[in-house]
Amino acid sequence: MSDDKIRRILSESKTIAVVGLSDNPTKASHGVGRYLLSQGYDLIPVNPNSPEVLGRKSYPDLPSIGRPIDVVQIFRPPAAVPPIVAQAIGVGAKVVWMQEGIQHAEAAAQAEAAGLAVVMNRCMMKEHYRLIGPRLDDE
């Protein structure tokens, strides 16, 4: 995916559901989630094992959220991706974003066939920092 398309996703998206967002501060998902919150995104944790992550109510799955989602960010192993993509399609998400190290060609093709944009094997925090730059607290 081109930098322009990724920049557009990052600029136009407001609500990000993070599947696999950990409440453990040493996990990558926690740091990425904290960064995205600091950049003004409406972050929705999706983790059936934690009632709250980063001070926000956590949901067991995407359908439980019950409101529009722009991006479904996935922090789960590749084998767990297909049902998450099916849920993303079902709730009408616009983008499926698989974090660094996560790829699933068949699930990506399914998402694209349903009209969703797909980003694979890229860190949303790194791409945001590189293409848009961090928003400072006083902005």
How confident is the model at residue 137, as a pLDDT? 58
Q: How many domains are contained in the chain? A: 1
Residue 136 in domain: no
Tell me the pTM: 0.94
Residue 133 pLDDT grade (very low, low, confident, very high; cuts 50, 70, 90): confident
Residue 55 in domain: yes
How far apart CA 26 and CA 80 sit, in angstroms, is: 22
How far apart CA 22 and CA 99 sit, in angstroms, is: 14
Residue 135 in this model has a pLDDT that exceeds 80: no
How confident is the model at residue 139, as a pLDDT? 45
How far apart CA 78 and CA 40 sit, in angstroms, is: 28
What confidence tens digit (pLDDT) does each residue in 105-128 have? 999 999 999 999 999 999 999 999
Residue 36 in domain: yes
In the chain, % of residues over pLDDT 70: 97
Residue 138 in domain: no
56-94: burial string, b at 16+ Cβ within 10 Å, e else: eebbeebeebeeebbbbbbbbeeebbeebbebbbebebb
What confidence tens digit (pLDDT) does each residue in 55-75 have? 999 999 999 999 999 999 999
Domain span at 78: 3-131
CATH code of the domain covering residue 102: 3.40.50.720
What's the mean per-residue pLDDT of the chain?
95
